[in-house]
Structure formats: structure tokens, C-alpha cells
Amino acid sequence: MQKAIALLKEYDLLRVIDEPLDIDLEIPHVAYIEVKRKDSKALLFTNPVSRRLDKKFDTPVLMNVFGSHKATELFLGKPADDIAAEIESLLKLKPPATLGEKFGMLAKLFALKNVFPKRVSAKGACQEVVVEGDACNLYEIPILKTWPQDGGPFITMGQVYTQSLDGERKNLGMYRLQVYDNRRLGMHWQIHKDSANFFHEYKAAGKKMPVSIAIGGDPLYTWAATAPLPHGVFELLMYGFIKGEPARLVKSITNDLYVPHDADFVIEGFVDPNESAIEGPFGDHTGYYTLEEEYPVLEVSCITRKKEPVYLATVVGKPPLEDKYMGWATERIFLPLLKTTAPELIDYMMPENGVFHNLIIAKMRTLYPGHAKQFMHAFWGVGQMSFVKHAIFVNEDAPDLEEYDDLSDYILDRVQVSNLIISEGVCDALDHASDDYAYGGKLGVDCTADNVFFPQKEIISDAQLLELMQEIDDSIVDIRQYKTYTKTPICVIAIDKKEPVHNLYEKLTAIKAHTKLLVFVDAKKNDLDNPYMLIWRVVNNIDAKRDIFLQKEFIGIDATNKGAIENFPRRWPDDTDCDPEVIERLRKRQIIDVDDAFLKKFYI
């Protein structure tokens, strides 16, 4: 962490805040706003305090460490595309035909020896201070409470190290960890994750499961914890591959797990498979709270740390966030591995306002009719790609995937009912929109062919169209039209919902001559002039099987919040909204300097 801080300072990517700030809401709110700036920097809070605990901490808090493309590449040590090229070259290795090729292959294979973590027998820097048993106290660490409705403080950048019952398979993951008291943590293992699978092995055997949680150290450990490697592959292999040197690990004090020698904190313990507790609510990276659920509990047996540690944390909520840059690195680096399943794939991206798993756009080389639809099923069957809810495929002649304005024109000129697939499958456990937990509808859009030949709609002004709609139904508050020059003009409709949206969609068939794609949102908390946040709202709030309505040349999307009107079987969560009193207090103290337009732009 000290080296990371020095590197960020060297490149003017760090802001140091010496004013005392509370670990509850204040520090997270500052970081939440900072990461949304175009020139976002990491933040080092040197004087964290807790009014709740009546405590001042000696440990500084570092946030937004991956807060820009530049910072992310600094910690990778090289451009992400160069790492992808190295992976691609290994995947394309062929038997050498000449002596020179043999030596070249040997050099590549010899370099791979650095991929595998190295166990060190001596104690690590992470074990300069050791506290065991009843003396352990999680409240000595400046663990943050991010959102007003959070169930308590949460560790958000924990590297969670686990292993299978037989000790053969290792896993590094990143799971949020709720602090229940001074010695207990909630283990938010989602049902599809490797650690959850290990847990079931221990539970079947009636044994407690060892867990060690590292915080800090080389930031690349933290990124590796999020890497979507194939099942059973230890994530620290990616650390060794990228760095060109192995991760150096030391044995935990009270269990048999190995952790990075240079971590700032290590929390060790055991999970009793017979003990669980309510975890949450927690404001998550979807921009919504995930609701209370029962999860396993870690009983802390030991806390070790450096003599002068730094506490690493992140903030999650509405986009853009730090995961924008971490996810960008993942997209670039893992493209070659995705191509092994889909060889005609050229590129893909998950826009941050699509909350990653909620939206993917992929460019492909289309070879035959139905090729894109075949790709959709391949994506929905591959590892973490199986969680993707909405997938749009474009042909190789499409604009660059980051040229959103031109790309959306290209897509909208190719949208028609016959080009859509509505399916169902597993969803991220954080998804709130589907009727069932972690399972729901999926949408695939094939935009690889220019095959839309319907007449252009008769476009009229927003005022004229609103008047026509309000004559049909008085629940319509306002509208805004987008991309009216394309073959699929969009009309976003803000409503004060009084009946199922499908009923309103049917009524509006009367105005189908003037528009093609209706998107319904709640009038409250949505800004019709803010397409960035409208996309965030839509891809979060819909289940394709329930919320997409189809007629020829007329498509409806219900992106409203669901509840009693729809007989929605689950509780709909609230948005992650900052505490307005905390924001105003931070502005008066000049800790943050943003105007009301900035707060409105990102629904802060």
C-alpha cells in the first residue's frame, strides 16, 4: 500500500484529506462523489474517526485506488491490451518447427514458472502485529458504513481466501463482509461462487471451514480477486502472470490458509456450517440496496496487521464507480479467453451504466443466418457471462463499441421483433427485478443484419405526442423522444402508475404511427433528459419475460418499479441515495466541491 500511495502521488493521482471525517457515511460519500469526476483521483483519509464508537483511528483509509484508467494500468504494470496479447499468444502455441521456435517456446514456458504462488516459511509483513482469540476486535479497524440503510459497517475490498475440503483447490474472491460485532463477520457468498461450493463440502462433512481475509497489500491482489477465471483456477495465478513474479504467501496464524505476505490486515477465522445470520441490507454496485438474507458467519480467531497499515476500501452504488475501471481491465484482459468459446467474437464491452452483468454489447464476424443468436446462447452458458441479462450483438461493420452515439444509431436501425430473443436463466444474486431470486428473463438483440424495411414513423414534436398520449391516459406525466431519425425512434414516458404498464402500452397502440419503442419509467426519481441514468434504470428494472411487450413495429419496455399493482412477489429495494444532510455538511466544510447540477446528473 505504501508503494501504491507513492506511485499515485508520483503521477498526481492522489488527493490527501487530513480533516477528521467519520467512517459512517462521510468518508464513503466523499469517495462516491470523487469517483464520478472526469479527473477522478484516489483519496487518502489520514484522520478517520467514528462518532458512533467515540473513537479516532491511527490507520488511514485509502479509497478509489483504481479510480482511473491510468491508475489501473499503473497497478497492472503494463497496458491491459498487452496482457491480453500475451494470453492470446499462449492460447495459439503450436508445436515448434525450427530450433529457433523451440527456444522461443521454451522461453515462454520458462516464464510461466512465475505464475504459481510461492510459499514463504518466515512470517510476513502482514504479521508484524498479532492479536488472537478474545482480544480480537474488528472495531479497531476503520471499517466503513457506506449508505444510510446499510445493516452496519461492511468490508468492501476484502480478499477472501478459501480452499476445498481436501485442500487441493484454492480460491480468492471478493465478497462483502458485514461486521456484526467485534468478532463476527457475515460471509456474503453468492450461490454461484466457488467459496459457496467449498462451504457445502464442509457442511456435508460437518466441519468448520477456514477462511482468511486479506486487506491491502499490492492492489493487484484486489483486482485478481474479481477476475472471472474458470472454475477451480486459483485467481492468484493471474497475479503471477501479469507481474512476471509469483505472489509470495505466508501461512495464517490460526488456520492452514496462505495469504499475501505484504497485506496490511489479515482477518482469520472459521465458519461453522450450522450458524447463519441475517446479512444486509447493503447498498450495492447495482445502485440499489440488496435486501436481507441469511448467510454464514465467520468467527474471528486472529487479526494480524502491519505496524503501520493502510485500510483499503471502495464505495458501491450508482454508476460511474471504481468498478468501471476494474471492469475495463477485466474486459480487455479476458477477451482472448472468451474468444476460445466464441471464435468469431471481435470485441465486447459492458458499459458501466449497464452495471456490467445487466448489459453487454458484442461485435462479431457474422458468417451465417442465426449466428448471433447462437452466440447469445454460448454467452449465457459461459462462466460469469451466464449472469448477463441483456446482450446486443452487432456485425464487424458497426462503429467502435465506445462510440456510443454512432453505435446506438447502428443498433436502432436494426431492431425489430424477429431480431429479438427472450429467454430465461440464472441471474446475478444481486438482481432485484426478477420474480425469482437469482433466476429470470434474458433479452438478446441481433443487430448484425440490416434487415429492417418498415416505413419510417411519422415523427411529431414532444409536445404534440404528449398531448395525444394524455388524451388517451392521464397517468402520463411527461415524455421525451430520442433518435427519431433512426428506424426505431424511442419515446421515454414518465408515468404516475395506476395500473399494470402492459394495459397502458395496449392503449397507446393508437399512436404507433408516431413512434416504435416505448420505454416506461416512474415520474418520480427519473430525469427524462438524462439518457445515461435512464439506461441504468432500464437495465436494472426489467425482467425480459415480464416487462417487454411486442407487436409488429411497436415495442414496449416497462422499467417502472414493481409492487402490488403487478403482484410482484418480492420486496422492491430503494435506490442508494446519499444522505442529503451529510452532503450539505461536506460542502460547507469544502471537503467536496460540486454543484446541484452534478448531484442531479448522477442521481446522488
Q: For residue 411, give Cα distances in angstroms to 358, 401, 486, 513.
A: 17, 11, 9, 21
Q: What angle is formed at CA 522 by the lines to CA 521 and CA 524, rounded to 5 degrees? A: 135
Torsion angles phi and psi, residue 219, rounded to 5: -55, -20
CA–CA separation, 298 vs 266, rounded Å? 13
Q: For residue 331, give Cα distances in angstroms to 182, 216, 229, 248, 429.
A: 38, 23, 12, 26, 21
Q: For residue 203, give Cα distances in angstroms to 117, 130, 207, 413.
A: 28, 29, 6, 53
CA count, 13 A, side-chain hemisphere, 345: 24
- Closest Cα to residue 221, out of 173, 267, 265? 173
E strands of 448-515, at which residues?
476-482, 490-495
Cβ partners under 8 Å of residue 461, min gap 6: none
Catalytic, 436? Answer no
DSSP for 385-424 reads: GGG--EEEEEETTSPPTT-HHHHHHHHHTT--GGGEEEEE
DSSP letter assigned to residue 518? E
CA count, 13 A, side-chain hemisphere, 312: 29
Q: Is the CA virtual torsion 545, 548, 549, 551 positive or negative?
A: negative
CA–CA separation, 34 vs 27, rounded Å? 11
R_g of the chain computed on alpha carbons:
25
Residue 87, H or E segment: helix 80-91
Torsion angles phi and psi, residue 176, rounded to 5: -70, 150
Which of 218, 262, 264, 284 is catalytic? The answer is 284
Helix, strand or coil for residue 220?
helix
- Closest Cα to residue 415, out of 442, 373, 447? 447
Torsion angles phi and psi, residue 243, rounded to 5: -75, -25
CA–CA separation, 225 vs 175, rounded Å? 9
CA–CA separation, 126 vs 550, rounded Å? 58
- Closest Cα to residue 517, out of 568, 545, 542, 553? 553
Looking up cell 480467531 gives 301
- In sequence order, the β-bridge partners of residue 74 are none
Residue type, 362: A
DSSP for 94-126 reads: ----SHHHHHHHHHHHHHGGGGS-EE-SSPPGG
C-alpha cell at 445: 438483440
Asked if residues 54 and 80 have their Cβ atoms less than 8 Å apart, the reply is no
Estimate to the nearest angstrom the gap between the alpha carbon of 89 and the chain centroid. Answer: 28
Positions annotated as catalytic residues are 284
